[in-house]
Amino acid sequence: MNHPQTARKSGLFQAPVLLVGFRPFFTLAIISGALLPLLWALVFSGTLHLPESGISATQWHAHEMLFGFGWAVLGGFLLTASKNWVGIRGMHGFPLLIAVVLWCAERVGVFYFPVPSENDSTLKLLGSLIAPNLFLIWVAGYVVQTLVRYHKKDTFKKDNYFFIIALPAFLVAKSLLLIPSTYAHGFSMSIGLFCVAFAVMFERTMPQFLKNSANIILPRKGWLDTGIKASVLLSAFESFMPTPLAVLLPSIACVLLLVRFTIWSPNVGLRRFDLALMYIGYFGLALHFGCEALLNAGWIEPFGSLSVHIFTFLCMGVIIPGMLIRISHGHTGRKISFVTLDKVGLSCMGIGAFFRLVMTQVWPAHYFLWIDLSALGWSLCFILVGYRLIPFLWQPRVDGREH
């Protein structure tokens, strides 16, 4: 009598979308990437009002773009990459479904979680911080324990120490971001930790892509790689540092990133669309640190959060769609290809970046218009890319393999 029910449960947990971490979370990343910027534009203009809660509209925007959209991407990537790193299949089936439910619940719950206050008792403070962090605890905890438990099998033993440090630090950053009095620290730290993830990713993937695509071996210098990762990681905590250090560390990160950029054959990489995305995103990361150093030194006073959006548009906004396309093809048994629709989508992202980074500075009188247009460009990118990719994410692999 229970057998059909068991079979149905088994079928649900063996659905293609729950077989690998990137499938549900890239789906959620595409949906949130398409919707959240448009919602923010409406909120920012005063057209739409968020539910009454203890967090401000700015806190909500930062939280959702980083820990909603951003962690849908990062979580999906990490839950999938663990198989390549340590040879162990990542989260799937029922545990993966729990992660998806927690992510979805957090999108609504962020308005209703009790807002932590530095005046709360220790017990109340812990309770109000645990609830909004359940998704992060579930996913980051799984990845960290996997990397620690199977350390001997890890093909990236040295690099993955940065993830073992950075992933728990995301919990601290998110908690600080949700407390109004510590929001600035939490926001700065959250952006910095995402920079760590991208810095590690560039170091791993660009040499591989250039070797496979153009038969070019990019030079690797241990001191340069380590210096970049260390300076980027330390820069994540710049808001807690005295001004000289908050200027020095991003400056070092910027210079080292640019030094490596020059020796990594940009003249070759920029000739092909798929490789050019990596080089543009890499340069965007370096530019972010350069701008951050100038801001911390007080040498520039841009209109709006320029440094942050250099990172989000020129690094995240360029790299993430490309990552979704590559992984959604390669890990479903398809040949990786960037079709015209993808290129149009990424061009929309580039146009959005122009409005957000350039027009807001040269014509700030129309700031609200530029925000609307940049949000539209970002959203169109994920709508166009997602139109083709979401069916891949929900269908079985085309090569007959299970996962």
Does residue 56 belong to any structural domain of this protein? yes
Please tell me whether the overall predicted TM-score, pTM, comes out greater than 0.85 for this model.
yes
Domain span including residue 52? 14-178
> Pick from 202, 205, 192: which is nearest to 232 by CA?
192
Query: At 120, is the pLDDT very low, low, confident or very high (cuts 50, 70, 90)?
Result: low
Does residue 228 belong to any structural domain of this protein? no
Does residue 165 belong to any structural domain of this protein? yes
Q: Which residue, chain included where needed, has tokens 């079709």?
A: 339
In the chain, the number of structural domains is 1
Cα(209)–Cα(118) distance, integer angstroms:
47
**400 membership: H or E segment, kind and range:** none
Does residue 238 belong to any structural domain of this protein? no
Cα(202)–Cα(208) distance, integer angstroms:
10
Cα(393)–Cα(356) distance, integer angstroms:
31
Does residue 86 belong to any structural domain of this protein? yes
78-87, 122-131, 166-175, 337-346: segment of lowest average pLDDT: 122-131
Cα(382)–Cα(384) distance, integer angstroms:
5
pLDDT of 210 over the 70 cut: yes
Query: At 327, is the pLDDT very low, low, confident or very high (cuts 50, 70, 90)?
Result: very high
Does residue 351 belong to any structural domain of this protein? no
379-388 residue pLDDT tens? 999 999 999 9
**What does the pLDDT read at residue 85?**
85
pLDDT of 89 over the 90 cut: no
Query: At 51, is the pLDDT very low, low, confident or very high (cuts 50, 70, 90)?
Result: confident
Does residue 127 belong to any structural domain of this protein? yes
Q: Between these two residues, 391 and 148, which has the higher pLDDT value?
A: 391
Does residue 101 belong to any structural domain of this protein? yes
pLDDT (mean) for 299-327: 97
Q: Between these two residues, 219 and 156, which has the higher pLDDT value?
A: 219
